[in-house]
Amino acid sequence: MGPITMFIEEPAHDSSFLGRTEEIHFRGRIDAMDPDPGQLWTRWYSSLPAVAGRPPELQLPVDLDKVAISPAGGALSFDKKLWIGSHTITFTAKDVAGDDEVALTAVRHAGMAGGAPAPGEPPSGEPASGEPVPARPKPCVIHVLIAEPTRLPPVGSDGRTPITRAGGVWAEAPVAWSDPDYQAVNKLTYRWVFATTSGTQVAVLGPGDLSFAPRTEDHPPSVGVAPLPASVPAGQYTLELQVGLWDKGTAKFTRYDKKTVAITVTG
């Protein structure tokens, strides 16, 4: 089987997007003399689902167009919104349409670009200092940042959401959050900032250990802090959820999404 030389030109590895508002531009390049690039069938994939919290329902034989993020029939360039998480992006091509056994046996030229950094390689995709650069596709992991509080009870008559100490605070999370393979590329950090109605900051929860709650019919997959610690006394607060890329050196976000909720902590 002959390899096809191909590249992901957009999005850039380690780039970030605010998922509610930003469409992501995907653009690939194929350098191939035989076959002609116009005779190749391409697909783009993400390691995470493109819709909120529900992995694709696979049936055999798998319809790869349904799990691909690219338009049916393939494309070198397209725009798409993705859901929350650190997405490993893969761009593939082959010279035969179809995915049944007969079609796959007939493939003579195929290639791929992107994917996750190699094991032991820093998440940036750059080799450690002094190490040789191996011959492999440049990785492509992108980060979609969405701050969406979840598992909230109904708003009370005073316009505030009641939060019980036992119930804690939760935010939408990537469906694969608890998977070690996902955590190897994850860069999302969660923080909940509690401030009084006058604006005085009382407590910040996260980005330490978080509990993970899988998807249910009523709630998307979520991470949270429960129960609330004693540092958050009962009372009225403005709660700001922040989800972004955290710089440990400066102890600040380099980019983040946020959402504010008026709450009352009870109990």
pLDDT digit string, tens, across residues 186-224: 999 999 999 998 999 999 998 888 999 998 888 899 999
* β-pair partners for 16: 143
Measured distance CA(137)–CA(115) in Å, rounded:
8
Pairing assessment for the beta strands 201-205 and 211-213 based on DSSP bridges: unpaired
Token look-up 């109904």 returns 154
Token look-up 């996750």 returns 116
Measured distance CA(187)–CA(184) in Å, rounded:
9
The answer to whether 129 and 48 have CB atoms below 8 angstroms apart is no
Backbone angles phi, psi at 67, to 5 degrees: -95, -10
Measured distance CA(126)–CA(141) in Å, rounded:
12
Lowest mean pLDDT among 50-59, 119-128, 197-206: 119-128
* β-pair partners for 240: 193, 260
Would you state the torsion angle of the CA atoms of residues 133, 177, 253, 46, taken in this order, to the nearest 10 degrees? 50
Measured distance CA(43)–CA(20) in Å, rounded:
24
Token representation of residue 240: 């700001």
The amino acid at 19: G
Radius of gyration of the chain (CA): 22
Pairing assessment for the beta strands 169-172 and 149-150 based on DSSP bridges: antiparallel
pTM: 0.87
pLDDT digit string, tens, across residues 57-114: 666 666 777 788 998 878 899 999 999 999 999 999 888 777 777 777 877 888 889 9
Instruction: Say whether 101 sits in a helix, a strand or coil.
Output: helix
CA angle 101, 54, 226 (to 5 degrees): 140
List the alpha helices (DSSP H) in the chain.
Answer: 64-67, 101-105, 180-183
pLDDT at 134: 43
Kindly indicate the confidence band of residue 128, based on its pLDDT and cuts at 50, 70 and 90. low
Lowest mean pLDDT among 17-21, 122-126, 242-246: 122-126
